[in-house]
Each structure stands twice: as structure tokens, then as C-alpha cells.
Amino acid sequence: MTKLQNAIVGGVRAVLGHVPASWLPGGTPDPLIDKRVALGRQQSRVDGPDKVRGAAQFAAEVPMDDLLYAAFVHSTIARGNIADLDVSAAEAAPGVALVMTYRNTPKLGVPPTVGLTNLKAAGNHTLPIMQDPEIRWNGQVVAVVLAETREQADHAATLVRVRYASAPARTRFEEGKNSAYTPESILVERNRLDKGDARRKLAEAAFKVDAVYKTPWENHNPIEPHAATIVWRDGKLIVHDATQMINATAGSLAKVFGLKADEVHVSSPYVGGGFGAKAMWDHQILGAAAAKLAGRPVRVTLSRASMHRLVGGRMRTEQRVALGADAEGRLKALLHHGYGVKPRHSVCDEGFSLTGRSLYASESFDVVQHYVDLDLLANSFMRGPGETPGTFAIECAMDELAHALGMDPIELRRRNAATRDAVSGAPHSQNAMMEAYDLGAARIGWSRRTAEPGSRREGEWLIGMGCASGTFPFTRMPGTSARITIDGNGDAHVASAAHEMGMGTATVQRQHAADRLGLPLDRVTVTIGDSSLPFASFAGGSSQTASLAAAVSAASGKLAVQLMRLAGNDTPLAGLKPSEVEFADGGLRSVDDPARHESFTSILRRAGRSELSAIGESGAPLEILKFSMHSTSAIFCELRVSDVTGEIRVDRLVGAFDCGRILNAKTAASQFKGGMIMGLGMALTEETLLDERTGRIMSTSLADYHVPVHLDVPDIDVLWTDIPDPRAPLGARGIGEIGTTGVAAAIANAVFNATGKRLRDLPLTLDKLI
Amino acid sequence: MRTFEYIRAADRADAVARARRGARFLGGGTNIVDLLRQNVEQASELVDVSRLDGAIRQSDGGGLLIDASVRNAALAAHPLVRRRYPVLSRALLAGASAQIRNMATVGGNILQRTRCMYFYDVEGARCNKRQPGTGCDALDGFNRYHAILGASDQCVATHPSDMCVALAMLDALIHLSGPDGKRSIRLTDFHVLPNASPHIETVLKPGELITGVELPPPSDAVTHSEYRKVRDRSSYAFALISVAGGLALTDGRVTEARIALGGVAARPWRAARAEAALIGVAPTEEAFLAAIREELADAQPLSGNAFKIVLVERTVVALLAALAGAHQ
Ligand SMILES: Cc1cc2nc3c(=O)[nH]c(=O)nc-3n(C[C@H](O)[C@H](O)[C@H](O)COP(=O)(O)OP(=O)(O)OC[C@H]3O[C@@H](n4cnc5c(N)ncnc54)[C@H](O)[C@@H]3O)c2cc1C
Ligand code: SF4
């Protein structure tokens, strides 16, 4: 991101500083913050029964005649050229229909890159895709084999002979640090922050900590591998995809293949886990190109290994955090410097250095992050990007500071809790992180903790407790729209090209629409997951619920206007303005005189209409530039460490969340717990093993890439403050990613409390403890 | 994956005859099928031996006879095993997952191959075990899981089985049937160290079938035994190291010690030196530590696994101390 962007964002912020808050989105708080019937209740997911019965059709299951199956051949060097390529054996293998290499791949444009400025862009990297013999990372696709069965394709792929001419590759992190680059901005923030002479204040501080924290490369491992069933029909490209970026994928594929926007159709009603992974990578593009070349539909289902080689993950980071405090524990200085791997061809920022800017009211800041450019697969977003590695560093450092001060770690946070944005001075829309701490501390029994490390023991097991803050910014995507249709029975149907990766998108919007329209739940349906539906932006940044809620709310407003117009003069509502009516009991009624009511059916029947639709859009999220809006959490952990083997067993995790109002206790609890389990994986087991000699990922199976198993996952308690955010639709901020943040720090802090050993290098494997 | 013939063996003789003509045995398939799919191994014919007799019965000498096709889960759950050889039951249950144990057979478990990542990476890595003479990428690469004992500069891989560690500790005998007839061999002599030819992993001759495993009657130290596996997550991970240990005491002195180690070598490692050092001594932590140090005197850590030496020492000491404590 550029200096220009910094200037624009800075300018808008400055202007908004003078705009009255009441003019901005949320200026009049959403009435559904309090008026809730279906919202806030426990609701099972509407997609649940179909998934349990196996009736939900995923991208790799869409039936299609004449289908060919794709297998990929990946490069085994990181940089260089294909010197020799022999596909004759593969072509001659049974069932093979096509072997596609750079020699016969159609000309493909580079997809527009994902970002906030172009909602129809999904590209994760800027490299040409199989257009030339050049190799740019170890694992890049060098050939696509299409065959009548998956097994035949896999076999033929082993017969493709490639000889490479290697060139020197940059694959080593330590060496890459020497030539790291420093971007102007990280997401929408200016990268360098230098406020209040932090270096001097650190030097003069009565208490300080200064340490380096490391987080490894992590790969995505959703249970459903990436998959797409692709067909060209009458010049149009139809992709049944597993994606959290329906429209961005459609828009990008249109650009890549030189098609008009309406010539690409992407459908993705169910996604078996996204977490940032289910985006557009090379496989959809290559699958579509091969389908075009073969003149037959193609199914791509990535193997676990192909997933690891083609789908980027969380970048490796190395972060120095230095904190200076006075004797009362008040932060005088916060320094956060670091390196992360972001190849030049990658477009995804891992903004770990943003974490410390919003959490605490330090007197001064010195923050900047640098990127290491390596010849590797582009990194990408992974649940809680930025804040997940960022909270590990900041929150471990806070724990170290508390220890140095001899102060309870919660008390240290209380003394430094920000009352407004510590950097910009912007007011919080709502923030009750310390209430979350109180809730969580009570639940886990924090008072049982002994401050002295290593002072609790049961047999060979040392017992400890730790806590940490989590944080994730609120975002609302512009351009998300939804259509509400009222049918002749007076039932409502909501439609939007939004995404269901298992988190309950349709379920919660159904609750929302029911309350918004004054209908019982069973009279509302929600349809999502297809690019033919009203435009929605991607599901990312924990923004989908808020964006969609804003769109549904806007659509309902338009619907009320249209209904009033239709109702005309022969209605009990005659003479009222749209602002004087509200939705209730399956129709509209006067706000002042509830007896004046007319049902949807009656209005439609009288007007001779079978149905009525309105589309609403979410609008620009100006509130986030005026207010400091963050979900926050307090994470607690109790664990045991064997003093024989160094094994860690987490006995309890408690997450207390301050995310505005909770819309559905059941789906929210699942989001929080799932996020916390990912945090647990980051803390204890997950690590992509990159062989730096070759730039090759070695941990390409679930046997070698360790995600936590059931036995690693303890009882998890989740709680929430449920305090509404008046600036957010429905009073609710995002909850999808915050669960992951803070967990690794809470665990590492508990390990310190248990053993007196301070581990700053994830994952916390036992060899680091013995 | 290449296409192959699948044939269910009519009986042992049929299986052996087919194997002599080049067929590969199929047990539960939990290892060989992965290896075929990944093109690490190739086969044109698989002969399924998992449905041959699968009995567990007492032997004439008071030991236990276990057919090779007995599933890992069934063996772990068998009352005689649980009562008389609890260490075997525990070792089995510490391995893999419930689903895999339901499929995996005793014969297949013994012959499962290393989990070295370079061994599996057919396209991208050099591996002497997979392709003799190409080199060993693990030597200077990821070798956290690799051997500290008995390795060579040609290969530093470990044998990944948990069950075999218990079998080694139990003095198990393996019964074989081949083109040249039947023979039996101690499990501890069955797997061979890599030396210059790491692709040769056992003394099995072409066409030879494992028909069963025999356990001698449990000695005092077997009755007082325990298995402890140390790994990177609580379940469903291979051992970094594991220990099967048993102790017999008389009048405050060790009269019998049995120690086998997993995750340290290309075969389950019977710690004979340590066992010998313990005979006649008082069961103290110092004595246990001195004994295991003797065993590890020749240990050669690699760039990524020096921690295994300490880990073995501590785990052995803790395990034996607990056994000694239970005796008292
Ligand atoms: C994800 C995963 C995790 C695992 N974790 C563990 C673990 O933690 N601990 C552990 O110990 N194991 C673990 N395993 C390995 C598992 O124990 C083995 O895969 C299993 O024991 C092999 O048995 P099988 O019957 O399926 O063998 P197969 O795969 O059928 O065969 C393996 C080999 O044995 C040969 N063979 C089979 N039967 C005979 C016979 N009767 N005579 C001669 N040769 C024969 C086959 O030809 C083949 O070469 C794991 C496996 C997986 C996939
Ligand atoms: S350790 Fe053995 S199995 Fe692993 S790469 Fe080296 S030779 Fe191959």
C-alpha cells in the first residue's frame, strides 16, 4: 500500500473528525439492539440438518456429465526454469484427456488483487500462472493432468518428467531480514508510528521488558480441501466453488479470461471451513483453463499436499516488543518492531504491529514492521491475521512486565486500559475489555492463581494459570447488498451472494430479518451463496454479519416505503409517513397507534401484487474512521507441564468476549470456541516445516502438520459482556476471528506461571521446556 | 496410484506362493496403501492376508500366541493381554487412532515403515531408503523425530511402531512362513540397523509371511511394567520417544529389569546395557539414571534431536521410579 493511500485515509479521518457523530452510520442506534425476539436466542443452524444427512452438496460433489478430474504436478525447486519437459508418458497413460503445461496453457491475465478498493478482485499474488517456463516458488504448478478418474489423473501426474535449471533462490528467513523492505502502510494504517519519543521514555522507565517473540508459518487446514467443479457453457464460465469470495472470484475470473462480468457464474452454497483459505488461488484458474482447452467440465479437488503448496497461510514473524512503565505500572513507552515474510508477489498484509496501537494507553509509541521478501508461496490471511501473532508478542510482554513489577497481570491491564484510541484519540464506540476480564477471572477462579512461578505442583505436573487480552478491529464492508421479497402469503425471503462457511450466516440473518420485519422465524427464508444473487463482498475480516445486517436493514427501510406507496389510501395506515410506521405482526403498523395495522398479504392483495421486493446496500463504513471500534476479549488458561517430559496439557480455557451484542448464543459460542481451538493449535502444535535449503514445505500432510486433536482440547468456557455497540448494526461487532487472538499468549503466560520458563517461540513444543 | 490386482489369500500357502511371484501382502492397508498412493512403493498385486486366521490363544509353554492378522484394537482389548501383558495393551492404545487400530494388523504393524518426511517426498527429496544411493536429506534437514542410536550416515530414520517397543521388551518371537518353510526369530533381531543399506529394514526373505507373534510367559518384571510415550500432541502422533519398562525387586534389590525404547533407532531398542547395569542394585533414581546413561553412551544426536537424550533419561528414570514405588 502506498503513500497516496495514507494521505487519503488520513484526509478522510481528518474530515470525519469534524462531522457530528449523529450524521454517520449508527448515528441513530439500531432499534433492534434492544427490541429482540428471535435475535439473541439460541438457534440451531438452518444448514445443520442437511449437513448431518449428507444432503448438503459441496463443490466437489456437484454432479456433472462428462466430467474430467484434475491432478497437479508441482515444481520441486524454488527458483529457476523448466529446462526439459516430457509429458508423453503422462499423455499415453490410461484415461488421460489432457496434459496442460506452460506450452499449451491459454493466455491468462493476472487476476486483480484482493483489497478493500475493488470488491470484485480476489487475486492473492501477482505472478503469471503457467504462462512461461519460469519457476518462482517450490510447489508452483508446472502441469495439470486431466483424466477420466481422479486415480488416473493422479497416476499420470507422476509420469510427467520435468528437469529444472535451478537459479539461486532466497528461502532463508535470517538472510532475508538483511534486505527486508518497509511498506508505507499496513492495511489502511500508516506503517510507521512514532509518537511521544518512545525510545527516550523506554530508556528512562523505572520498569521495562524488551524481548523478541517468534511465530511460525502456519498452513490452512480446513476439513474440506479446496475444490471446484468447473464448466464452460455457451461461452460462459460456471464455477461451483468452495469459496468465501464469490463475487471477487467471479470478477477475477472474468478478468483472467477476458469475459464480461455476467459471463462468469460462481456458486458456493456450502463451504467446509474457510478461515481465510477459501479464496481464489491458482487451482480455479488452472481448472477453468484446462476445462476450456479440453472442452469438457473439470473437477479440481486439491490433495492436502497440493493445498499446502498452493494456498498461502499465516506468515512467519519475529517481533521485538519493548515496554517501559513507571512504578505504578503505567505504560510510558511501547515499542513494537518486527519482521514478517511477505514476498513481493504477495498482496496480503499480516498487520501484527497494529495490535499494540489500540489495546493500551501508552504515553508513547514506536511501531513499525518490515517484510522479508522470499521466493515462497504468497502468504495469506488466516483467522485473525495480524492480531493473532501480534497479541502473542504484546500480551506475553505485558505478562513479563507484570512479573517484573510484581503486579497481578489483570491489574496491569486495568491500569493501562485505553479509554479512547491511544494513538488517534478517536473515541471508542464501545469498549468493556476490563468487564470481560472480570467475567473471565471469576469463571476460571483467578484468585486460585499463585503469583510465584513453579509454586503449584501435583506429582510431576507443575500447574499454572495465565491470561491475555485478545482484540480484533470492527469492519463493515461497503457494497454488500440484500434483497427482501415479501410473497403473497406475507412470508419474507432474503437473498444475497453471501457466504456460509459453517458459521451460521443464513441462520443469524433469518433471525435478524424476522425481528426486522415483525415476522416469526418460520416465515422467513434466507438464500445465499451464489453470484446470481444481489452482490455481496467477501466474507473476511469478521465483517459479514455486520455488512449483511446493514444491507438487510436498508432493504427493509425501502420495503416499508414501497409498501406504504402500495397501500395507498384505503388502509388503516393512510396518511402516515414511512417514518411513522414500523414492522409488526406480519405487516406495518403506526408507531404511535398500534391499533392501526395492515398485514403484508392485505396490502399486496389489494394492490393486485403477488410479491414485492426491495434491495438495500450496506453503505460506506465511515463509522470506523471516526470511532475506534474493536472487539476485545480476556482469555484465561489453566494448564499442567510435566517436569519429566515437558509435555503441556491444557486443562481449561475461558474466553470472555466484549463484541457488542450476541445475536445467537449457539453459533457465537461455536465461533468463539473454534477460534480458541485454533489459538490453542498455534500455541502448542502448529508449524509449517519449511526446508530452507530448498524452499520446500515438508509438512504437507495432517500427520506432519499437527492440528490439535480432541484430547488436546480442554473444557472451553465462553462468556460475553453482551453490551451493545451503538455504532454497529444490531449493536453487534464481529466475532469470527477474535477467538483466535490472545490464546497463544494466555497459554505461554500460564506455562511461565507453572514453570518459571518464559517461552517466546511458538509452538511451545516439549523440547523447548526440558 | 497405479492400478493393481487385489486378491484375498485363500490360505497362508497361497499368500506365500503369490508373494514369491512378486505380490505384496496387504494387512489393514493403513500404511501400504498410503505408500502406494504417494508412489513411495509400487505393487502390481496385493494379496490380502488380513482375513486369514486371527486368533489369540495360550501357547503350550504358558505364553501367548497371536496370529499376524489380529487387529491392533482386538489385541489391545484381549483379556489375556490386558491381564498378563498390560504393557502391550498400553503401547497399542498409545498408537495411531481408534479407526486405524481397528484396521491395522499385527503383521502390518511390525512392518510399517518410517515416517521420515523425506522418505515420503518422492518428487522433492533425496532418500537412500527409498532410492538407494541418492543421499539423505534428513541428515541436515528436519530430523527432530530421527534416531540417536544405531544410525548411519546413510540413514537416520526411526521405526515408528509403539507395539513393537512393547514386543521387544517382552522378548517376543516372530513366526514366519516362507517358500523355504517356517522359522522363528526374536523381534529384537528382526529389524536391522541401516548401515550402508537403509532400504533393507528386516531379515525377512522374499515371499516370507509373518504368521504370528509368540510371547513367553510373563516374568515378574513383565507383570510390573508400564509404557510411556512422549509426543507432540496428546494423541494421534508418533512417538518422539517411548519407553516400555518393567522391574522385579527382591529384598530391595533389582532382580530383573526390562527396558525397551521407541523413537530412538531404526528398530525398537532393547536397552540391554541398562538392564544389566541394574541387576543387583538398589532401585534409586540415581541408579536408574546411571544405567540409562550407560545405554546412551554411544548416542549421537542430530542437529534437531539432542533433546531426545535428556528426554529418554528422564522418562526412563520416572517410569522405573514409579514401578519401584509401586513395588513397595
Ligand atoms: C495417521 C497415522 C498415525 C499413526 N500413528 C501411529 C502411532 O502413533 N504409533 C504406531 O505404532 N503406529 C502408528 N501408525 C501406523 C499404524 O500402526 C500402521 O499403519 C499399522 O500398524 C500397519 O498395519 P496394517 O495392517 O494396516 O499394515 P499394512 O499397511 O497392510 O501393511 C504394512 C506392511 O506390512 C506388510 N505386511 C502386512 N501383513 C504382513 C504379514 N502378515 N507378513 C508380512 N508382511 C506383512 C505389507 O506388505 C506392508 O509392507 C499410524 C498410521 C497412520 C496412518
Ligand atoms: S533418514 Fe533415512 S528415510 Fe529419511 S531421508 Fe534419510 S535415508 Fe531417507
pLDDT in tens, A463-496: 999 999 999 999 999 899 999 999 999 999 999 9
Q: What single-letter amino acid sits at A267?
A: S
pLDDT tens digits, one per residue of B274-292: 999 999 999 999 999 999 9
Ligand with smallest separation from the Cα of B94: 1
Give how far A335 is from chain B: nearest CA, Å: 33
Partner residue facing A770 (CB), from B1, B233, B310:
B310
Tens of pLDDT, residue by residue over A414-441, are: 999 999 999 999 999 999 999 999 999 9
Interval A741-766: pLDDT, tens: 999 999 999 999 999 999 999 999 99
Ligand number nearest CA of B178 is: 1
Q: Do B230 and A645 touch (CB under 8 A)?
A: yes
Find the chain B residues whose C-beta atoms sit closer than 8 A to any C-beta of A.
1-3, 37, 39, 115, 117-118, 120-125, 137, 140-142, 144, 230, 232-238, 240, 307, 310-311, 314-315, 318
Q: How far are the Cα atoms of A105, A115, A128, A363 from residue A131, in angstroms, in the given order?
A: 7, 24, 6, 53
Residue B83 main-chain phi, psi, to 5 deg = -80, -45
What pTM did the predictor assign? 0.97
Inter-chain touch A765–B232, beta carbons under 8 Å: yes
> Does residue A1 have a pLDDT over 60?
no
The answer to whether A620 faces chain B, any CB pair under 8 Å, is no
Please state the atom number of ligand 2 nearest to the C-alpha of residue B156.
Answer: 1
Q: How many CA atoms lie within 13 A of A237 on its CB side?
A: 28
**How many angstroms is it from B164 CA to the middle of ligand 1?**
11
Judged on CB neighbours under 10 Å (0-12, 13-18, 19+), A51 is: middle
- Give the pLDDT of residue B2: 81
Mean pLDDT over A445-468 rounds to 98
* Spatial contact of A603 and A562, defined as CB atoms under 8 Å apart: no
Q: What's phi and psi for B244, nearest 5 deg? A: -110, 120
Cβ of B112 closer than 6 Å to ligand 1, yes or no, is yes
Q: Which helix (H) or strand (E) holds A558?
A: helix A544-567
B230·A649 Cβ contact <8 A: no
The Cα–Cα gap between A767 and A752 comes to 15
For ligand 2, whether the C-beta of B116 sits within 6 Å is yes
What pLDDT score does A2 carry?
A: 64
Cell numbers representing residue A15 in the block = 474530515
Percent of chain B with pLDDT over 70: 99
Q: Are strands A134-135 and A587-590 parallel, antiparallel or unpaired?
A: unpaired
What average pLDDT does range A521-533 have in this prediction?
A: 98
C-alpha cell at A474: 470492527
Contact A701 B120 (CB under 8 A): yes
Contacts of A684 in chain B (CB under 8 A): 233
Asked if A644 and B314 come within 8 Å (Cβ–Cβ), the reply is yes
Would you call A768 exposed, middle or buried from its count of C-beta atoms within 10 A (0-12, 13-18, 19+)? middle
B236, B285, B312: best to mutate for the A interface, most A CBs within 10 A: B236
Whole-number Cα distances in Å, B147 to A229, A742, B95, B114: 45, 36, 19, 11
Q: Judge whether A644 is closer than 8 Å to chain B, CB to CB.
A: yes
Is pLDDT above 90 for A19? no
Alpha-carbon A289 to chain mean position = 29
Number of DSSP helices (H) and strands (E) in chain B, helices first? 14, 12
Ligand 1 atom at minimal distance to the Cα of residue B31: 29
- CB atoms A693 and B123 under 8 Å: no
Mean pLDDT, chain A, whole residue set: 96
Which of B137, B232, B307 is opposite residue A706, by nearest beta carbon?
B232
CA-nearest residue for atom 32, ligand 1, is B108
Report d(CA A407, CA A323) in Å as an integer. Answer: 15
% residues pLDDT > 90 (chain A): 95
Count the alpha carbons within 13 Å of B281 in the hemisphere toward its beta carbon: 16
> Does residue B302 have its Cβ closer than 6 Å to ligand 2?
no
Domains of chain B: 5-48 (3.30.43), 221-327 (3.30.390.50)
CA-based nearest residue in chain B for residue A680: B233
Taking only the tens place, the pLDDT of each residue in A65-100 is: 999 999 999 999 999 999 999 999 999 999 999 999
Neighbours of A34 (CB within 10 A): 11
Average pLDDT over residues A225-237: 98
Helix-strand-coil split of chain A, %, nearest 5: 30, 25, 45
Is residue A9 very low, low, confident or very high in pLDDT (cuts 50, 70, 90)?
confident
Q: Are A70 and A299 in contact (CB under 8 A)?
A: yes
Residue A23 scores a pLDDT above 90: no
Residue A147 near residue A305 (C-beta atoms within 8 A): no
Q: Is B161 helix (H, G, I), strand (E, B) or coil?
A: coil
* Ligand 1: centre distance to CA A357 (Å): 52
Is A737 among the residues known to form the active site? yes
How far is A342 from chain B, CA to nearest CA, in Å?
Answer: 24
DSSP-derived 3-state class of residue A105: coil
Q: Of the candidates B110, B101, B146, B150, which has an alpha carbon nearest to the alpha carbon of residue B127?
A: B146
Per-residue pLDDT of chain B (328 residues; tens, 9 = 90+): 688 999 999 999 999 999 999 999 999 999 999 999 999 999 999 999 999 989 999 999 999 999 999 999 999 999 999 999 999 999 999 999 999 999 999 999 999 999 999 999 999 999 999 999 999 999 999 999 999 999 999 999 999 999 999 999 999 999 999 999 999 999 999 999 999 999 999 999 999 999 999 999 999 999 999 999 999 999 999 999 999 999 999 999 999 999 999 999 999 999 999 999 999 999 999 999 999 999 999 999 999 999 999 999 999 999 999 999 987 6
3-state secondary structure of A638: strand
Instruction: Give the residue among A231, A300, A308, A240 at the shortest CA–CA distance from A71.
Output: A300
Helices (H), A311-416: 355-359, 387-405, 409-416
Q: A154: which 3 cell numbers?
A: 493422479
Mean pLDDT estimate for chain B:
97
> pLDDT tens digits, residue range B118-150?
999 999 999 999 999 999 999 999 999 999 999
Torsions phi, psi of A247, nearest 5?
A: -75, -35
CA distance A17 to A2: 23
Kindly report the backbone phi and psi dihedral angles of residue A647, in degrees, each rounded to the nearest multiple of 5, phi listed first.
Answer: -65, 140
Contact indicator for A374, A171 with CB cutoff of 8 Å: yes
pLDDT band with cut points at 50, 70 and 90 for residue A115: confident
- CA-based nearest residue in chain A for residue B124: A76
For residue B109, which of B53, B174, B46, B63 has the smallest C-alpha distance?
Answer: B174
Mutate one of A142, A172, A704 to test the B interface: name it (highest B CB count within 10 A): A704
Tell me if B143 CB under 6 Å of ligand 2: no
Angle CA A627–A629–A635, to nearest 5: 155
**Distance (Å) from the alpha carbon of A71 to chain B's nearest alpha carbon:** 12
Beta carbon of B157 within 6 Å of any ligand 2 atom = yes
Cell of A673: 470456541
Q: What is the pLDDT of residues A398-415, one digit of tens each?
A: 999 999 999 999 999 999
pLDDT on residue A4: 73
Geometric angle at alpha carbon A764, from A762 and A765, rounded to 5°: 120
Nearest to B142 among A154, A649, A691 (CB): A691
Q: Mark yes or no for CB contact A685/B232 under 8 Å.
A: yes
For residues B226 and A137, give the distance between their C-alpha atoms in angstroms, rounded to a whole number.
48
Q: Find where cell 542430530 sits.
A: B302
> Which three three-digit cell numbers place residue B240?
518422539
Beta strands in chain B (DSSP E): 5-8, 24-26, 45-48, 56-58, 64-67, 173-178, 181-186, 209-215, 225-231, 239-250, 253-262, 269-270
Cell of A764: 511451545
HSE toward the beta carbon, residue A689, CA cutoff 13 A: 21
Query: Residue A223 pLDDT more than 80?
Result: yes
Give the model confidence (pLDDT) of A268-318 as tens digits: 999 999 999 999 999 999 999 999 999 999 999 999 999 999 999 999 999
3-class secondary structure per residue, B99-133: HHHHHCEHHHHHCCCCCCHHHHCCCCCCECCCCCC
Contact predicate A209/A404, CB 8 Å: yes
End-to-end Cα distance, chain B: 57
Is B93 close to ligand 1, i.e. is its CB under 6 Å away?
no
Residue of B nearest to A764 (CA): B232
| C-alpha cell belonging to residue A188 | 489502511
- Identify which of A155, A703, A710 has the shortest CB distance to residue B2: A155
Q: How far is the CA of B113 from the centre of ligand 1 (A)?
A: 8
Does the structure show a pLDDT above 80 at A41?
yes
| Mean pLDDT across A522-526 | 98
Q: Quick check: B232 and A766 CB within 8 A?
A: yes
Asked if A640 has any chain B CB less than 8 Å from its own CB, the reply is no
Q: Residue A16: its pLDDT value, please?
A: 81
Residues A513 and A548 sit within 8 Å (Cβ to Cβ): no
Is ligand 1 within 6 A of the CB of residue B109?
A: yes
**Mutate: best of B39, B40, B117, B292, partner A, most A CBs <10 A:** B117
What average pLDDT does this structure show over A144-149? 98
Q: How confident is the model at residue A580 (pLDDT cuts 50, 70, 90)?
A: very high
Contacts of A138 in chain B (CB under 8 A): 124
Report whether residue B315 contacts ligand 2, using a CB cutoff of 6 Å. Answer: no
The CA–CA distances, whole Å, from A369 to A17, A202, A424, B11 equal 27, 19, 19, 67
A151 touching chain B per CB within 8 A? yes
Q: Please tell me the total number of residues recorded for chain A in this structure.
A: 770
For residues B46 and B7, is the Cβ–Cβ distance under 8 A? yes
Q: What domains can you pick out in chain A, each with its CATH number?
A: 59-168+224-272+278-310 (3.90.1170.50), 185-218+314-475+625-768 (3.30.365.10), 476-620 (3.30.365.10)
Residue among A105, A92, A104, A102 nearest A162 (CA): A102
Please tell me the predicted confidence (pLDDT) of residue A117. 82
For an interface test with A, which of B1, B115, B123 has the most A Cβ atoms less than 10 Å from its Cβ? B123
| Burial state string for A433-463 with b = 16 or more CB within 10 A and e = fewer than 16 | bbbbbbbbbebbebeebeeebbebeeeebbb
Q: Is B120 in the pocket of ligand 1 (CB under 6 A)?
A: no
B311 and A645 within 8 Å at the Cβ level: the answer is yes
Look at residue A662 in the predicted model and tell me its pLDDT: 97
CA distance B261 to B147: 11
Residues of chain A contacting residue B140, judged by C-beta atoms under 8 Å apart: 693
What pLDDT was estimated at residue A331? 98
User: What is the pLDDT at residue A764?
Assistant: 98
Closest residue by Cα to residue A602 from A635, A625, A575, A568? A568
Which residue bears the cell 502422533? B237
Question: Based on the number of CB atoms within 10 Å of its own CB, is B326 exposed (0-12), middle (13-18) or buried (19 or more)?
Answer: exposed
CB contact under 8 A, B117 and A154: no
Cβ–Cβ under 8 Å, residues B46 and B187 = no
The counts of H helices and E strands in chain A are 19, 31
Q: Is the CB of residue B120 below 6 angstroms from any atom belonging to ligand 2?
A: no
Nearest alpha carbon to residue A101 among A121, A81, A122? A81
The DSSP H or E segment spanning A162 is strand A161-166
Percent of chain A with pLDDT over 70: 100
Q: What angle do CA A619, A623, A629 make, to 5 degrees?
A: 125
- Take residue A499 and report the three cell numbers written for it: 457466504
Contact state of B124 with A138 under an 8 Å Cβ cutoff: yes
Does B275 sit in the ligand 2 pocket, CB within 6 Å? no
* AA identity, residue B308: K
